[in-house]
Structure 1
Amino acid sequence: MGDATSRLRQEAEQTPSYGGRGVRDTTEDFTSASSQLQSGQLVKDEFFTLFEAVGALEIMDPKMDSGYVAPGDTFDAEFDPASGLDMTEVLWIMDQLLCLEISWHDGYPLSQTVFTSLHIDRLLSPDQENRDPTFYRLARPPSNLSETQSLGHQILRAYCIGLIKCCNLALLLIQSQNYYEEEDFVTHLFGRELLPQVKGDQASWILQEAQKRLGEASGISQDVRRALDDRLKFRSEYLNTLVEDGSNRWEDMKSSMDSIQSSHDLARPVTDAFSEKVQRQLATSTPPRPMLQISWDLACRKWMDLCQDVVLAHRLTEFSISSSPACLQRAVWAFAYRGEPCALARALLQDLLFNNGGVRGELSHYDLLLTDIRDLVLAGDPLTDPESFQVEVTSDPRHICSRLIEGFMDKAIDEYLNLYRMVCQNRCRIRRTFTQAIPILDALESEAQQVDAKLSAAASSLKIQKKKTGRIVTLEPLTSWTKFYKLRIMTWAVQLGFETEIYLPDELGKMYWYLMQLSRQRSQLIGDIDEYTSLRKQHTQEKNTAAECLTAIQWYQSLYDYATITTLLSLALWKLYTLLAHTNIIIPPKRDFAKSQLLYEARMKPFLSVVNDSVPRHQDFEDAGLQTDSIESTCKDIDGSLKAAKSLLAGLKKLTPEQGRFVGTEDEWKKEIKQLETTCVAIAVATSQLLMASGKYGQDKLEGVMECRPEKRYHDWWVVPMLKEKTAITK
């Protein structure tokens, strides 16, 4: 043992081979020591002394050291960015950079994408800080370059500088918004600076000069000239868009990308112009990563998706949509569910929503919040009339009520804006931030109750007497408003749990049962708000107030119907999964140390801190998992729930965008209704299969003849079990 350790240490001192630590490949000695350990010839302490002496990672895989240089290899890439290039080769490098840039937006680090370009690496070299960045180490081109090759360098240099500034501006934009490192976007620069000495307008001018010289040059085929110009134009449009934030340019970029995609065949590869060896020069201890490979067609498709996402973000935040908070909230959700928009698109949407203290600088956030309160709970009430907030006479009830509402809005504004901001994240982060918002909104509801008591004392409009019974109906507007959003977020948190698959198959039934409870509470709350608004409409003599109340009542009906549909679908799936568990078609996994109480606390943790609403106890959850009725009776109940849900969905299909508050997202609304209808059909099919199997084999034998795969989804939030007979039985 001692001789082996001494020999290895001596070799380490005498043979520097990589990483500056002087350890060469001693795999054979390490393998021998491992065999001796297993056979008992070495004790564990001696083995780990040897392990430490030579460096475990280096022995197992020397490439894990970012400075490792294989025998016969060079430390630096051999390609010289200052060498002359054919125009078709310039074209290929520009296209490869486009592929790597969109991969960076897709979540890969710069060190694995853009920084692998030797031309980019040369421009970002520290020795260029005090001069105009070029591909030449001596700041002047080689004398052997032809005029065409010199022009190629100017075009490629302009393009690379534009690309670097685009990366810089995109990075600054993303970092100025809510994002989550590594989950959404890798911000590391690995010790490089993205040309801070070059401003955005300078980079734009450099691109324009390159386009001008390209147009004046001779000896270049028209196809190649047009292809190069398209790429310079695209880079200039993209750069100016990030500098000026203009939505129209994104439409222009889509057109440019169409032209770029069709001319890629003209390019001639220069693979040596990119190398993962660049990572050795970066200030990072991260192990080297292989250079990313992405197909041209996929890269172009991702660029088109990015452009379309940003165009949509501008369209969905227009004043015609943002003037209605409900429409804007639906628009943000519609944007989030366009697949997975990249971090840049989501940052641009956040910038449109939150820059300059308002939505696109047109609608202030306080006006948005006040409009939301008026639309949801105070339709037609003078309390939220903007003119009431201008009254300065301190004894005037309008002044008193306005100050109370303003004080509440000051406390609610941050969490309210998070309703829009949270949805601009990835799915797991959306759910996580929603669960964190639940106790905050519950505490805000307690604040709202105190403010409502003061409002009720100062404002007569919050109490209305029923004509028939004479009963006084009192509205607590701010409490109702806060509870509405708290219940909505609790519902979303549960539904996103289904989408992100955090519930095991045996838990789905109970979680759908809880979703049903939340939806029932929302339905009851909406019904209470609707009742009071209907009374206000009956008592008012003003046409404008009556019209506003009528509009609100139509919207309440759509909210009520949608919440009822959620209740009915949840009830159907709860009963179906309970049947599957009762017949042992779904069997809980073996959990030796997990007690039912602990499992309950784990799933209900986000909701247990709620004070102002009852949260199901552990025993309630256990009771929800019990099956008392027969299969025939339960399946009949499920079918009844599905028929009621279909009827309500048919009613929602008849709503106008104004009535249902889905202006701007009409296509997404129709798609969602269709998904829910298909979900009803799928649940009915699964129920029918279970009922038929029960009649054929008997309830006691279902465990052996049926299997379940809860995988089929026609809507992300509704997990419909797929039932079929086992193969052996089928045969």
Structure 2
Amino acid sequence: MRELGASMESLSLETPTVRDGLVDVTALFMEMGKKLKPETIVKDSKFNLFDGTHSLEVNNEKLDSTMIQLTPEELQFDVGVAYGEELDASTDDPSKLDIVIAISDRLLRSIISWLNDYQSLPTTVLSCIYVEHVLKYYMMDENADQNDITCLETGDPFYDQVLNSIIIAVCNFMGFMYKVLTAGVIFEEEDLNFNHMGLNNFSMLPGINESLRALEVSRTYLDNLLDTMPSHDSKINRLRLLLNVTETLIKFEYLVDCSSEQGEQLLNVLETSAKSLIEQGPFSIPPPLGAFSMGIQRKLTNQFPPKKLIEPKFNFAGYIIISEHVKLVNKLKTLNTAKDIFTFALYFNKLSQKHVLARALFSLILIKPDQSILNKHSIIDFLQMHLKEISGRDWIIGEAIDYELQGILQEAGNVLLEFYQNAAQNTCRYRQGYNRQILLWDSLQAQLESKSSDISVSQADIDTVTGDKEQGSVFIYVCASWVYIMKLTAMTEFILKGFELDIYKPYESFSMYWYCYCLQLHLKDCLEKLINLVSDKMNSIYAINKKMKKLKAGEKKENVRKQYRHAMDSIMPDLKESTCTLSLLLKKCEIHRALCLGEVLQFAILRSYQLIDGEIGNKLIVSNRKLLHDLRFKTFSSIGVPELPSYDVFKKTLSDFTVQEPLFDLKMEKTLKCITNELTVAEKNLAEIIALLEENSNSSEDFAGYDAVKNETHDYYDTISKSIMEIKNNVTALVKNHNNYVHDKGNYEMKLTKPDKASPYYVVMDMVEKRSHHKT
């Protein structure tokens, strides 16, 4: 420090610097910094980095919420005053009814800004001074009584009854959303901004039933008012509609356990009320100045920079969106089989991210606190149903299975629940969920395969039709196969979702699509083996009939006849249904396989014309190509089966796909023919799937899951169809225009594009001018 002092004294201000009055001490500090040891500047025990940076916010208008300047109207606003004139007053000034409508109208529109537009609570719902008052009354006032439903005391029923009931109901709805958030069904910031400003003890609020009774009293008051003041019927009816919307919001918590019919009725009320409000148009009278304020950001616990209030648009259409999306999830309650529930989960949130309320309710409706499914099936029973879907057999999972295997199956059930919860996540979290599931499925598969060599066969494992005592090993095989299918599906989704999220660079597209193609080959092999297993079972039943025909009439033949009839009536339908399920899965697999190979060949064409390489350019300084490749495939590096090909295998495969001399034109022609053939395979399987769904729609209980998400399913397959067409057209264009691209290679680059209405999983590899690409 003495050295620093001496150096500072030696500095002179005689010569003006660029900035008058300042001295450049950069060189001095740089020189002193060289003498410091690294460990001495990492962290001082007396210095807290967070507090240090937080202190920079003080007296900064953009960061310090205590510097928010409130208007006189905001400072003087009093919730104890009934603003507005009496209804029968002969004046043009807004009446108390007008003011209550204006406040309620904006508050309900603010909820849409919060939920649908991902705005924060303090800039929307909590900006309402009445909401702040009610929350503080119940959460901060030690004398507050939960049973006391009256928080406003203006002496006017429009405020003390109607507005009061709406405000408390909105607070209850916030409490429900907070409960959902803390339960981990949805995520802070990603799905919902819940900066509660320290007002988060929602259990102190009056209960939902008390709030509903208050709303009903308000409705009765307005009904009586209609009889006495019919001249104000349009405004009174508007306020009644706002009451209806508020009531449905508070009843959303009931949607978790109510019947499908009750849920439908509730959502119809919300949708009808919102449409009526839209028909009436925006309310012409604004809330009084100060009713919505930034004051709560200044006065209460606020760890975020100040934000200006969000002026909500006339957005009651947002409630219609909520109703439509929640209605879709409400259909989940009508489903009974694992196949139907699986189908629903697969498609309802697939193409477009559903509303946060719908996604939250999906998990709450499907998986109960005791981990039962729809309050109908235990997790083990649900797992058993999944196994039956691919094997056609009822497996007895209970005391017959040894203790170790029970533990494995319980773990499988838990991972299955993760799969279903992940189906409702936001687009980015969805891929993260699969990243975790891949390892869990792989661990389960390894445990089951090691168990297959040490299975104790019990009486329950004996096939009642054929007397086969090897069913214990068959059960393990079916379990392992199902887990393998789920793992390969997770790996496929993880890879392809990366294209939708624009995670991959153009040069990585070959590696990702080729690896995904390899996964489809493994999946195809697994599905075909299961189909053969089910087919063998069906043949064993048909063999009983042949055996019966060879027997002479008598008791033995009659017993065999009964055995055959029982098998045909009770077992054969399940086997046929499993065959249908597996065939459908195989067709989907073939579509993905063909499209992935089409993408691989699309890349190979570009590389053959030397328009792109399969590796990053030569601008690497602190890394290398192999390291980047290994980082991209790190998720799969610890997977046992299928084994991840080495980096050299990826390079060799790309080289094998690349068309080279001699006979370049002939080889390119074969490549184009191969792409055409593969895309034709995809089209054929796609047409068969759509035909099967159309044939069984609304007529077969086996396709109830597809019927529940019929529009979403067809939209998904429409995007696949569009992708097939886009890839075809692009390949044709690439070959046709390759001379232009090659001749002017320096001005073109490959870009991964996602055509409108095509599947975001399957990109088009466009050659675009670098100038236009950079402009976008």
Question: By the TM > 0.5 criterion, same fold?
Answer: yes
Paired with 1:226 and 1:53, the residues of 2 have a C-alpha distance of 53
Mapped pair 1:101 → 2:118: no
Mapped pair 1:418 → 2:432: no
- In structure 2, the partner of 1:347 is 360
**What is the correspondence of 1:183-202 to structure 2 with a 5 Å cutoff?**
183-192=190-199, 193-194=201-202, 196-202=204-210
Contact 1:227 1:260 in 2 (8 A): yes
- In structure 1, the partner of 2:722 is 678
Instruction: State the Cα distance separating 1:436 from its structure 2 match.
Output: 1.2
Q: Give the paired residue count.
A: 658
Contact 1:462 1:474 in 2 (8 A): no
Contact 1:495 1:717 in 2 (8 A): yes
Paired with 1:560 and 1:441, the residues of 2 have a C-alpha distance of 20
- In structure 1, the partner of 2:345 is 332
Instruction: State the Cα distance separating 1:259 from its structure 2 match.
Output: 1.7
- Per mean C-alpha deviation after superposition, the further-off stretch among 589-598 and 579-588 is 579-588
Paired with 2:162 and 2:362, the residues of 1 have a C-alpha distance of 32
| Cα 1:231–1:44 shift into 2, 3 Å | farther
| Cα 1:462–1:711 shift into 2, 3 Å | farther
Which secondary structure does the structure 1 equivalent of 2:611 belong to?
coil
Which secondary structure does the structure 2 equivalent of 1:400 belong to?
coil
Mapped pair 1:505 → 2:534: no
Mapped pair 1:548 → 2:574: yes
Paired with 2:135 and 2:419, the residues of 1 have a C-alpha distance of 40
- In structure 2, the partner of 1:519 is 520
**What is the correspondence of 1:564-575 to structure 2 with a 5 Å cutoff?**
564-575=590-601
With normalisation by structure 1, the TM-score equals 0.82
Paired with 2:376 and 2:149, the residues of 1 have a C-alpha distance of 48
Contact 1:463 1:475 in 2 (8 A): no
Amino acid at match of 2:511: K
Contact 1:512 1:573 in 2 (8 A): yes
| Cα 1:532–1:94 shift into 2, 3 Å | same
Which secondary structure does the structure 1 equivalent of 2:204 belong to?
coil
Paired with 1:462 and 1:516, the residues of 2 have a C-alpha distance of 40
Paired with 1:284 and 1:439, the residues of 2 have a C-alpha distance of 40
Instruction: State the Cα distance separating 1:222 from its structure 2 match.
Output: 0.5
Q: 1:610 aligns with which of 626, 630, 639?
A: 639
Contact 1:412 1:444 in 2 (8 A): yes
- In structure 1, the partner of 2:4 is none
Instruction: State the Cα distance separating 1:243 from its structure 2 match.
Output: 4.4
Q: 2:331 aligns with which of 290, 312, 315?
A: 315
Identity across the alignment (%) = 19
Paired with 1:40 and 1:128, the residues of 2 have a C-alpha distance of 56
Instruction: State the Cα distance separating 1:187 from its structure 2 match.
Output: 3.4
Contact 1:693 1:702 in 2 (8 A): no
Mapped pair 1:289 → 2:296: no
- In structure 2, the partner of 1:638 is 675
| Cα 1:306–1:338 shift into 2, 3 Å | farther
Paired with 1:53 and 1:408, the residues of 2 have a C-alpha distance of 49
Contact 2:150 2:164 in 1 (8 A): no
With normalisation by structure 2, the TM-score equals 0.77
- In structure 2, the partner of 1:122 is 133
Contact 1:230 1:256 in 2 (8 A): yes
Amino acid at match of 2:99: E
- In structure 2, the partner of 1:169 is 176
Contact 2:169 2:246 in 1 (8 A): yes
Q: 1:270 aligns with which of 281, 287, 290?
A: 287
- In structure 2, the partner of 1:22 is none
Amino acid at match of 1:125: K
| Cα 1:264–1:278 shift into 2, 3 Å | farther
Which secondary structure does the structure 1 equivalent of 2:353 belong to?
coil
5+ long unaligned stretches in structure 1: 1-31, 143-148, 391-398, 466-471
Paired with 2:641 and 2:100, the residues of 1 have a C-alpha distance of 66
- In structure 2, the partner of 1:257 is 274
Amino acid at match of 1:366: I
1:214-242 Cα offsets, whole Å, 9 max, x none, are 22234461100111111112212332342
Q: 1:91 aligns with which of 83, 101, 105?
A: 101
Contact 2:74 2:293 in 1 (8 A): no
- In structure 2, the partner of 1:141 is 154
1:98-141 Cα offsets, whole Å, 9 max, x none, are 12212332433322211111121222335655246999999743
- In structure 1, the partner of 2:372 is 358
| Cα 1:494–1:55 shift into 2, 3 Å | closer
Contact 2:751 2:766 in 1 (8 A): yes
Instruction: State the Cα distance separating 1:56 from its structure 2 match.
Output: 5.2
| Cα 1:35–1:56 shift into 2, 3 Å | farther
RMSD between aligned residues:
3.6
Amino acid at match of 2:525: Q
Contact 2:448 2:476 in 1 (8 A): no
Contact 1:77 1:275 in 2 (8 A): no
| Cα 1:723–1:597 shift into 2, 3 Å | closer
Contact 1:230 1:260 in 2 (8 A): yes
- In structure 1, the partner of 2:734 is 690
1:52-92 Cα offsets, whole Å, 9 max, x none, are 99975557x4342111155x966963333333132222212
Which secondary structure does the structure 1 equivalent of 2:316 belong to?
helix
Amino acid at match of 2:483: T
- Per mean C-alpha deviation after superposition, the further-off stretch among 330-339 and 503-512 is 330-339
Mapped pair 1:530 → 2:531: yes
Contact 1:585 1:708 in 2 (8 A): yes
Contact 2:79 2:130 in 1 (8 A): yes
Paired with 1:574 and 1:38, the residues of 2 have a C-alpha distance of 62
Which secondary structure does the structure 1 equivalent of 2:76 belong to?
coil
1:246-267 Cα offsets, whole Å, 9 max, x none, are 4131222111221222234344
Contact 1:214 1:229 in 2 (8 A): yes
Contact 1:261 1:300 in 2 (8 A): yes
Mapped pair 1:432 → 2:411: no
Paired with 1:421 and 1:530, the residues of 2 have a C-alpha distance of 29
Amino acid at match of 1:312: L
